[in-house]
Amino acid sequence: MCAKQSIVVVCNRSIIDPAPPSTLPKPLPPLYYRTMNSAYENATCPYFTAGTCNSCSLLSIERGKRIATKEALVLKALSDRGLTPHVIEPIHVPVSPWGSRCKTKVSVTGSPRCPSVGIVRSDLSTQDLSECPLTPLHVQELFITLKEVIRERNLTPYNIEERTGELKNIIVMNNHDASQGIVRFVLRSPEAIPHVRESVAEIQARHPWVSVISCNIQPIPAAILEGPEEEILTHQRSIEVRYNDITLSFMPQSFMQVTHEIAEALYHRAANYVRENSFSRALDLFCGVGGFSLSIASSVPHIIGVEVSPMAVESAHLSASRMAASHASFFAADVENFLSHSLTDQPDLVIVNPPRRGLSEGIRKRLLDLKPAAILYSSCDPETFARDVSGMTSNYHLKTLAPFDMFPMTNHCEVLGILETKPSRL
């Protein structure tokens, strides 16, 4: 049987299990404590208690100090690079961490008879997390069906050591009210696509909110979540997700922030800053489906977005068309190449939202050459954020740092930095 300094205070979880909580620094006194979030500070998890999953590393922190610990990690990343923002805003945390994920990524291991959906540890041992409390209940129910599909269709989970099998990962995304969702089967080759196709009607009949089902092909024997090739198996190709006063389209390969509630706060903060200032031309780099671009569309008359994923750019065009935002243009291109060879406009506002690795040296140099009046830097890694910003301090000062708890109960944090040009010296 299968086993289940002078600071003014205004007050990509991974499938591979992270380092144990013992590596976390000791919590420092809180920068700001907006509220004693009881749902957050008193949360417990059976997987963590049993020692089978350490992903939610803040569960090891004393209750009442968890949010403060996350704040301390952000502050340490800044201080290690000698950065002192003029303002550090209150950290935005979800009402409750449990059930907050709108994007869930799991590895599929085991056998067709006894599949497991969860994590693969660094020693290649596995843990089923189909009832992870971060995962919404409707997705937990979906996992029950997907395990049945794996058994019935004889979809062989990928074996990392032997490099055999077909089904590597499953990625689930859902919209703001769980009325629409995407299910992606990440396969080693196209061989299993017909078996997945045969299951589409059954999955949608049992879970009507699943609007889009696709297969992604990732043939490389490495810890890479997905590959470039995607085959959509349903008539519907995208879902619509509401963020504040805009609606974004998402196709299977589109980047989606993992916690909808916090993504709304992130886009709202960026839009407020732009609304309170005057910009005429915005350049949105690593724009994804256009979350930042379209959030500021009512305030900026000319917007260019650049994103390497053609599917994400297609989604951005769909959203812009629906909003009648014809002044927002999106290009599928490598960001560094676009900056070097295709950019003709001179932006006075640049928004960057790079992957965890941050900005390349070439991109940082080009931004300094462009000399926009302001840079909004959204990052899922405070350390690479601090590295990049510290290299721009000759021309810019970090006016504001706003932390966002995009990854509840983990030591990861999203940050939004507002950089403005320093006054010129005579």
For the annotated catalytic residues, the residue numbers are: 380
**283 to 267, 296, 331, 336: CA distances (angstroms):** 16, 11, 11, 13
- Nearest-angstrom CA–CA distance, 13 and 412: 8
Strand partners, 285: 306, 352
Strand partners, 182: 173, 212
- Nearest-angstrom CA–CA distance, 132 and 115: 16
Write the burial class of residue 1 (CB in 10 Å: 0-12 exposed, 13-18 middle, 19+ buried): exposed
- Nearest-angstrom CA–CA distance, 224 and 135: 22
> Taking Cα atoms as reference points, which of 299, 342, 270, 333 lies closest to residue 89?
270
- Nearest-angstrom CA–CA distance, 234 and 366: 42
Q: Which helix (H) or strand (E) holds 404?
A: strand 396-404
- Nearest-angstrom CA–CA distance, 24 and 217: 36
- Nearest-angstrom CA–CA distance, 4 and 17: 18
CB 378 within 8 A of CB 292: yes
- The residue type of 169 is N
Q: Given the DSSP bridges, would you call strands 115-120 and 181-187 parallel, antiparallel or unpaired?
A: unpaired
- Nearest-angstrom CA–CA distance, 175 and 242: 7
How far from the centroid of its chain's Cα atoms is residue 112's Cα?
30
The CA-to-CA distance between both ends of the chain, in Å, stands at 77
Residue 221, Cβ neighbours under 10 Å: how many? 11
